[in-house]
Chain A
């Protein structure tokens, strides 16, 4: 039985496009449309970004002086714990994987919706309630969790961290964890089973490929996180001794479990943004992506390798096989380097259009590459001995993760905002936001490398004058406040586009992939008609038949024998 026959048995004609069904709040509560859910994810995660960003502002204000008095030590510990947890679990992941992937992936492969629309809606509600749960910690007796986003045992035991705050944190992680798992199942299934005819796997846009690989990684990593959280809860309340020495357990086992999730998680957060950048560079260079297959295999290599590097967060425990983890961690630099050179190769020889999405994507490329350099150094165990748990590490992962999520995230937002809403953002304000954010961001984190090398540990609310890091911290704090300010420009831009819309049209950027073949915003069930899919860039082929991909060979020279269709 062929799939086509199977499909006709399921025949249930989607209703014609256009607005129908409920509106307003009831639409928001009941929609199973991937576009509505994707937007919900995006706006919710941006609210969480603002909240977690405000926490970062308080943290930086506290560190302006060596003996800052902005918040108490307990509050400081709660703030950086929830700041990290929110940025990682509630912003960086859901913004790209719940937001962009949900909205864009079905469009890019020519699907009418996600494979499991109801599950998709459930994912969002688990995400929203999980996020709410995490914030509830601040309002209960004893305050929110205060043991860092890594929650090392036995600091996270009931003896050392009593009260409901840590339990709320555990529940929040479990709820958002399930939300991520459901979204991953949904996206992988959608990409495997709902592609349009002719959209073979090796014609899928890189964005979609990256989401598939991210989904596979989530399905590997998140169950371990959930299991670890259940064990932690059991240790806290049910009298088990997984992580307590007195009961025969092992605190280091927590670190193994957590990082076995935690390192793939880093790539779960980063790969979607790599996908966004991989869409933007070709469009604004008016070229295809350079080395498509190399990029796909690099992404798969990162996924494979990321499962074997967890203990590079544990070099200084003295319990792990250093050369093994150093070798695999360093190897990840190779596919990551391939990506960076692929992006530069895409720009090479192009006709560069310096619009706001390209600027943000370039900002991502620069900060990510800088963070990559320090990452390669940190993969070396002896160097890690010197700077582990210092601000050097803080600077590193903010450059790779925050830099990626903010710059590539906003690149994607500016790029797809016309498709989301049918409106353009203001170009001038976007450029202003970019330049302030780019300068301020590096001003925030480059001094932190130096502070770390001087010996400033992370997660401290006070430090010594004799550490000679006061000035560095002051520069960093000013940079952080300016970064925060750049978000206000973005909010203004959104507000202006909302009050005085500039219509975008279907394809304002001369985009290459299928999401630009439908209207902005797309109709219910996405497409009224599809262009023929004969390459990785069906919309480009349609709009530029003389330069269509199937008419040229790999070098860009026209093939003789192929007739343009």
Chain B
């Protein structure tokens, strides 16, 4: 199974395997990786699964589509950056194996 590395705000890194087709939010939650709350269970309705995508991977994940629900929800997240994504909106794929995601200071 392809791997994903989640790095908490305090620097602690967790590398876990995430099945293809599963969201990167689920990958964290199902493996008890702290730092992602996912209060809406992946409906793109809470913005508490906010992550920063490592620059080297941005080409592959892409950014939220202009005008999308994800873009709107992200615009309200604390400390949003140009490489911010909602991890419930990224599905795991073979070519994302090794991807690195960083967490914000808190989900708000």
Whether A and B are associated in the same complex: the answer reads: no
A interface list, Cβ under 8 A from B? none
